[in-house]
Amino acid sequence: MREAVLSINAGSSSIKFALFGLGTDDALEAISAGKIEGIGSSPHFIARDAAGRVLAERRWEDPSLGHEAFLDDLLSWTDTGAGSCRLVGIGHRVVHGGVEFGSPELLTKQVIEALAKLVPLAPLHQPHNLAAIIAAKMARPGVLQVACFDTAFHQTQPPVATRFAIPQAFFQAGIRRYGFHGLSYEYVANTLEQLDPKMAGGRVVAAHLGNGASLCAMAGGRSIDTTMGFTALDGLMMGTRCGAIDPGVILYLQQQKGMSSEEVEHLLYERSGLLGVSGLSGDMRELQASEQASACEAVELFVYRVAREAGALVSSLGGLDGLVFTAGIGENSPTIRALICRRLAWLGLEIDAEANEEGAPTISTAASRITVRVIPTDEERLIAMRTLDLVRQNQELRVA
């Protein structure tokens, strides 16, 4: 039976997964990927092979089914439906590792308890990550399971980049800048190291522009600053999240407009960003297809905010050698890349219109002082790689 590793990324209403078979020298070969969507309403499971062909699809009528039921189903499917694999490891995306976890961890009882203590730092995400971990541990107690953290990549930030200008006691209590999207940035940093070691060794801004969006300043492949902070609400404008906002606005909404903290939360996470400004959609593709003035305004603000924050990160880096675009918008929208690059032309950055239109791996001209690349991210593969590392280390320890 072929050995395999499963990556799981569990959210409130969805579970994304990717299954990798182990080839020669433990090379990860994509077998299938997919998701269960609509948990809590009308659940739908779909799995595709590496070429995008549908391997399995299923719908359920019961909205009360939870993460446990779906994970059980998914794991049974990996045993049989996906080509009779034997799972040697399950890797879980975990949004918050706090200050404690700077690298992937085997999910022992103690680690799970420590992760549960971090729920107040990420109440919208961490409980769902934990629900999936607990369900997968119950369903496959014999398989090693690993937590891979979205925050961990940013642990190399210098102390000054982690502070808010509030009294020390708050910092000691964990109110500091953590940063997120770390699995995506680690994948980008690794890929860049293989593609272009010179650029990877220099000063790079990576732009993860998806529904969630952030920038990361990397020096020699390590994070030294990032736009998301205490939560994934900070920094850039996103699909439905506001990004950085004067904290006085929140006080005003609560104190003068009588909004509850739940209402403010809903406003800032769900009704803002591209959706809030356009009044139409939080989906960049839809906004680019629209001719309404408010759609253009939302796109303009998105671009402005990316360029402005990128300028700040160039300052953190003390200069810039390379820029990388990744995630849904960064990988697929030549228009947005061109608009951002135009605003950053003062850095000596120039893009090749044709290469940009094609989404070529390098989209800057030969004369550009900054190399601009497009690198498709693959957080699931990174999770599988890190999971397999820990599985093999554990096996070696047992033999020794």
Residue 306: closest CA among 244, 379, 257, 229 = 244
Contact 274, 171 (CB under 8 A): no
- Dist. CA 217–CA 203, nearest whole Å: 7
- Dist. CA 22–CA 87, nearest whole Å: 10
Residue 131 CB, nearest approach to ligand ADP (Å): 19
- The conformational region for residue 46 under phi > 0 = left, psi -120 to 50 = alpha, else beta, is beta
Residue 181 CB, nearest approach to ligand ADP (Å): 9
DSSP secondary structure string for all residues of 20-69: EEE-GGG-EEEEEEEEEE-TTSS-EEEEEETTS-EEEEEE-S-TT--HHH
Task: State which amino acid sits at residue 16.
Answer: K
Q: Which of 210, 221, 273, 322 binds ligand ADP (CB under 6 A)?
A: 210
Residues 315-374 that bind ligand ADP (CB under 6 A): 327-329, 332-333
87 is an interface residue for ligand ADP by CB under 6 A: no
List, in sequence order, the alpha helices (H) in 140-272. Answer: 168-172, 182-195, 197-200, 247-255, 261-270
Q: Taking CB positions, which residue lies at the least distance from ligand ADP?
A: 328
SS3 312: helix
List, in sequence order, the alpha helices (H) in the chain. Answer: 67-79, 109-117, 126-139, 168-172, 182-195, 197-200, 247-255, 261-270, 273-278, 284-289, 293-317, 327-332, 334-343, 353-358, 379-399
Residue 332 CB, nearest approach to ligand ADP (Å): 3
Residue 206 CB, nearest approach to ligand ADP (Å): 14
- Dist. CA 26–CA 79, nearest whole Å: 19
Residue 283 CB, nearest approach to ligand ADP (Å): 4
182 is an interface residue for ligand ADP by CB under 6 A: no
- Beta carbon nearer to ligand ADP, 9 or 368: 9
Q: Which of 2, 58, 59, 285 binds ligand ADP (CB under 6 A)?
A: 285
Q: Which of 14, 288, 290, 316 binds ligand ADP (CB under 6 A)?
A: 288
- Beta carbon nearer to ligand ADP, 284 or 374: 284
Binding piece for ligand ADP, criterion CB under 6 A, among 58-66, 100-108, 146-154, 209-217: 209-217
- Dist. CA 47–CA 57, nearest whole Å: 6
- Beta carbon nearer to ligand ADP, 18 or 107: 18
Choose the catalytic residue: 25, 26, 150, 234. 150
- Beta carbon nearer to ligand ADP, 104 or 239: 239
Residue 92: closest CA among 16, 190, 189 = 16
Binding piece for ligand ADP, criterion CB under 6 A, among 194-202, 206-214, 307-315, 364-372: 206-214
- Dist. CA 238–CA 255, nearest whole Å: 26
- Beta carbon nearer to ligand ADP, 300 or 395: 300
Q: Which of 211, 254, 290, 316 binds ligand ADP (CB under 6 A)?
A: 211
Structure tokens at 89: 């490891």
Contact 184, 377 (CB under 8 A): yes
- Beta carbon nearer to ligand ADP, 203 or 337: 337
Residue 289 CB, nearest approach to ligand ADP (Å): 9
CA max distance for the chain: 66
Q: Which of 37, 68, 283, 389 binds ligand ADP (CB under 6 A)?
A: 283
SS3 255: helix
284 is an interface residue for ligand ADP by CB under 6 A: yes
Is 150 a residue of the active site? yes
Q: Which of 34, 212, 221, 276 binds ligand ADP (CB under 6 A)?
A: 212
Task: State which amino acid sits at residue 17.
Answer: F
Residues 239-268 that bind ligand ADP (CB under 6 A): 239
Measured from the Cβ of residue 280, the count of other Cβ atoms closer than 10 Å reads: 15
Binding piece for ligand ADP, criterion CB under 6 A, among 76-84, 112-120, 198-206, 278-286: 278-286
Residue 211 CB, nearest approach to ligand ADP (Å): 4
Binding piece for ligand ADP, criterion CB under 6 A, among 68-76, 94-102, 281-289, 296-304: 281-289
Indicate which residues carry an active-site annotation: 150
Per CB under 6 A, residues contacting ligand ADP are 210-212, 239, 283-285, 288, 327-329, 332-333
